[in-house]
Structure 1
């Protein structure tokens, strides 16, 4: 809800009373090549700006048709209506694009300044309103209907006060925003560093001197994954009947980076489980790989002695004595093998890794003693990166808390 005890010259208004609020097309136009018109969806709104890096394109005719309903102009505000709700962005300059799954607040600068409204949409007051008034819908994927965008309650001061608040926020945010940019840049650099560590490791550069690019160190060989595994299989191809208790039955959603999760398990009968375990029997130390779905390629090492069964969306690898399981886990996460898995999984929305393909993926294999040394070198470097990541995350949380503190004062009339 909107804040209480506002200054006397402020008032609470309903968004649709002061702005024309629309949304983009409800249909999926036919996509064309990059010579077409960009179609901006909710996923293209990031960090209160439009990201044009991964957009689809539509024909000019479709663009003109969509524009009849939702023409975007300079000064308007876009708002992600599905998935990650929010990320409001003010349009600056020409807007030669169409929108889908995006809210459109048409500017009305005689009543409310665009930047003032965007700051409100970023505030905890607005987030609290979404939750308390139950403006969000959906379960697996949250969204806000157009009708609810038109019901937003806004604390509105006179224009002169709005401008003063915007100026004060910009002053307070200037250094803060740059600090956040620097922290996120450092986060990205750490991600790159982690991948570099894995790349160096499996080129032999962490344990050997003077290794030429493209050459294997002495004693190394290229092998397929099936050469270093006692078993490569997957879970049940048909989902068995579930019940309120019994043997745990896990799927792709339960494979996490740090191990399997039992937070949201399904259960199957002991009889059904015994049949499933004959073919696919995960044990501590085994490697699990998500073979399809949104998290295809995610993997972990089984970190529990607890008995559980798997759905067919998860591949199981049991290593033999030629390879260390941690070594294989890291190599599968490295750019060398990860790119191979992406290639075999296909480029469509329905990416999938098949047993026949993963068995044939080639990896570099050093002697077993060197594998242990490589794992130690990797973990030593990655632990430092993890600590830095933890500090960056903490700093970002502190920055966000400070932002919300400033916005809270702004929209309760206490900032000036």
Structure 2
């Protein structure tokens, strides 16, 4: 049934908006007079668009934030760089506790907001807006959390200008969003939760980086350097006919210089097992219809984040649908993110989509150590090598079994496994603290809004 809302003409004129979306009942609310609300624009010292410039992945210039590098209240680490002058960089240089707002994206993701912490050597792109609040009125941690709550996201979407596959929330519209001005003690409590969450997320990163470095140092990878050839020679690898027969492939991708180089290096300098010998079983998932009334958890590639299944939907699976249990790895084998891998750590049992392959280890290897080995560049290059298809790539389960997994002493593998598990644990604890912060803000909002 259609949702209908009666609107006074004066309200439409005051907001300069006459679209039905703006007055959608799910977004409309009435603040209580006993609480102080203000447009965000009144509590900002700065509302600034980023720079419009071409970017590169070569590391030339300064790191620059893009729209997809804001997640769960924080600004992550940029992957691209902008070649700009030092003077221009200083003008747009990020400072600790700046709030970045994604003004242009799909309607689902527009308004993503992240808090800058230690990324002060970075700048930001033009489809992001820098919000700098007056700390005497609104703390930046509170502002970031508020814009990430269900209520805050709703107010962002309310002001979004929609077009085909795109939505935009201008700086002027951001300034019009109302924010409740809670007392200093309440905001400081939220800030403590946010900052503790950030510390845990950094500790999680450190633990995983330590695990990577330990693997690399044990294998000698910290001294390995692969220099890609340039020019004419970059096109060729020299392989024997027997190599073609063994691989069952004669295409250039399978024998790219990088793939051949890493495989040769592993075989000569490391003890390796084929992945197939380390697995108790594999199973390809089944595509399922998601439903809120489903009886079991169901995940797809989109639910993998930072090497873990972090969320799931619900489904009612058909008879014989394979499942994954705690400790299993799920590997993307179809589409644009082939090789993406995540461990089932937060669920005792779930089903998974048809573009994923379940890897259940035997007692010869730890799933956490295997997770790191497959997620590492050594594993990813091998996955890429065995992809078939042009329009929509696919990684066959039999080819997954070919992957070379470097083996270390039991003690070192256990040390790496412990670090990876610690990293996952700290990240989950960080998310729990952020969830507490959001819950507290949402509770305060409920008290400040008329029912």
Q: What TM-score do you get using the length of structure 2 for normalisation?
A: 0.47
Q: What TM-score do you get using the length of structure 1 for normalisation?
A: 0.49
The structure that has the greater radius of gyration is 1
